[in-house]
Structure 1
Amino acid sequence: MLLNFEFQKSAEPQSKPTIVLIHGLFGSLSNLGMIARVLELEYSVLQLDVRNHGKSAHDKDMNYTVMAQDVIETLDHLNIEQFSVIGHSMGGKIAMKLTELAPKRLQNLIVLDMCPFAYQENHHDSIFKALFAVEQANVASRKEAYEIMQNFLKEEMVIQFLLKGFNKGRWLFNVQFIFDHYADIIGWQALKLWSKRTLFIRGGQSPYISKDEHIEAIDQQFDHVELETIENAGHWLHAEQPEQVIIIIKNYLNKNQ
């Protein structure tokens, strides 16, 4: 599937490899915009809407193999051979899957608050209830959607994040297809050991890389790992502490070119 994208090509004559930014569940390409705007000063930057999100097409198939293949198809369409990737949450798992599907093309891998692990916890039950309730109410405005979502969700930041995907009375992401494949999204099939360097950045208050089994999963699938922690940040660490995240990303890229 050719994905919806925004591609800012570097004006640098000796351009460094393109950096691909992949958003997380219920997001869109704008979610990593603050990172994109900084990196565009030195790199060509490709921002993507993954399938069933943003302006990309909807499809009933949704697993990490097809989502990673979508990224490769879009790169091929743009004639991009070598690339680095930054992925957040679900986008981090898509990014990690690229180590198997495009090992010779992938240069640098940066994963934001996600590990290669089959999570058992359902972190999105209340979110799905809120999203389906808005759909069933058939409301047209964000204000009306907001009032419905408050019955299910207490975190203001989460509500505002989700409402970015509400446009003209409908969700831009396909709630039903995502719900149908939620087990695939939180699940994971272990990768072959990746020998290139990989950076994981976690939120100090996030549960996604917080247990010994999470660290073990990373070590079993990635050979050369750097793990950085952003204190006073949760799962949306790039929105909560953008300057710290960007400094870590830039330092990592600069020493691994």
Structure 2
Amino acid sequence: MATVSRPRPVPLSYRLLDGQDTLPPIVFLHGMFSNRNIFRTEAETLAQQTGRKVLIMDARNHGESPHNPDCSYEAMSADVQALLSKLGLTPCVLIGHSMGGRTAMTLALQKPEMVERLVSVDISPLVAVDMPNIFKIIPAMNSVNIPRNISHSQASEVLEEHLKPFVKDSSIRQYLFNSLVRINGRYVWKVNSENLWQHKEQFVDYLQSQGVYCGRTLFLLDSNSPFVPPSHYPMIKRLFPEAQFQTIPDAGHIIHIKKPKEFMNSILSFLS
């Protein structure tokens, strides 16, 4: 009988903010094209306000983490599981945005004992009509030409002008800028966009995970989210029977950038 090989985890780059051991730690998983710094402010605020340990990490093919051709949610879940086990951070509160939300759901469905409660930010386990459109950003990112040795704020202006025709939402442009870094005077993207482009069908498929997660779950979304339409709610409730849905008006897809205060209030209220 053939055995199903489990994905091999890669060692993720991370930052752990220290706190008490008595409360479940909080773990943030960022979305596609981003890295752990997108949640730096939220992580620091939550560590301060709740006294909990807070972990932020770079997903494979993002930030400082290794590049790997396997882009499946099973592989990304295996990476997070390995890191949580290594650091002794289970059960944890898992908060994932977009791609990170689907990774978080995969982990919770596979290993419910590792997750004390779950927050999915503007994403569903099902396929949304808008999902494939995300990848139209990659050619726009790759075609930008930023002069060498200009300041970060000047680079931001160049990028802003270049991306405007392709990316209408200013909070998404701001989100993308988070992944631009200067190395030896040259601006480069800290994301393996070539790999993401080649495996884009893996990101827009239904979550393959078997199982049910019965822990407390919050689906936090924009009031008109194309990623979590009401037609998805029944299936979500089957996989996550304790799921609550909370909408934030005019929050867009990058809720934590467009509505940071409302985002933090929702997380704090869910934790209490």
Q: Give the TM-score, by structure 2 length.
A: 0.84
Amino acid at match of 2:225: S
Separation in 2, partners of 1:208, 1:125: 14
Amino acid at match of 1:240: K
Shift of 1:147: 4.3
Q: Is residue 118 of structure 2 the alignment partner of residue 104 of structure 1?
A: no
Shift of 1:82: 2.1
Q: How many residues matched?
A: 249
- Which residue number in structure 2 is paired with residue 23 of structure 1? 30
Q: Is residue 230 of structure 2 the alignment partner of residue 211 of structure 1?
A: yes
Shift of 1:204: 1.1
Q: Is residue 148 of structure 2 the alignment partner of residue 161 of structure 1?
A: no
Local SS of the residue matching 1:107: strand
CA contact (8 A) 1:139 1:145 kept: no
Cα pair distance change 1:215/1:78, threshold 3 Å:
same
- Which residue number in structure 1 is paired with residue 264 of structure 2? 246
Q: Is residue 205 of structure 2 the alignment partner of residue 187 of structure 1?
A: yes
Shift of 1:118: 2.3
Q: Is residue 17 of structure 2 the alignment partner of residue 8 of structure 1?
A: yes
Separation in 2, partners of 1:217, 1:34: 33
Q: How much identity, in percent, do the aligned residues show?
A: 28
Separation in 1, partners of 2:78, 2:246: 28
| Greater mean alpha carbon deviation, residues 83-92 or residues 94-103 | 94-103
Unpaired segments of 5 or more residues in structure 2?
A: 1-9
Q: Is residue 46 of structure 2 the alignment partner of residue 36 of structure 1?
A: no
Cα pair distance change 1:155/1:250, threshold 3 Å:
closer
Separation in 2, partners of 1:155, 1:226: 27
Amino acid at match of 1:60: P
Separation in 2, partners of 1:151, 1:185: 24
| Greater mean alpha carbon deviation, residues 227-236 or residues 122-131 | 122-131
CA contact (8 A) 2:135 2:200 kept: no
Amino acid at match of 1:198: T
Q: Is residue 144 of structure 2 the alignment partner of residue 129 of structure 1?
A: no
Unpaired segments of 5 or more residues in structure 1?
A: none
Q: Deviations over 1:173-219 (max 9, x none)?
A: 0011111121111212254222222111111132111231x212211
Local SS of the residue matching 1:38: helix
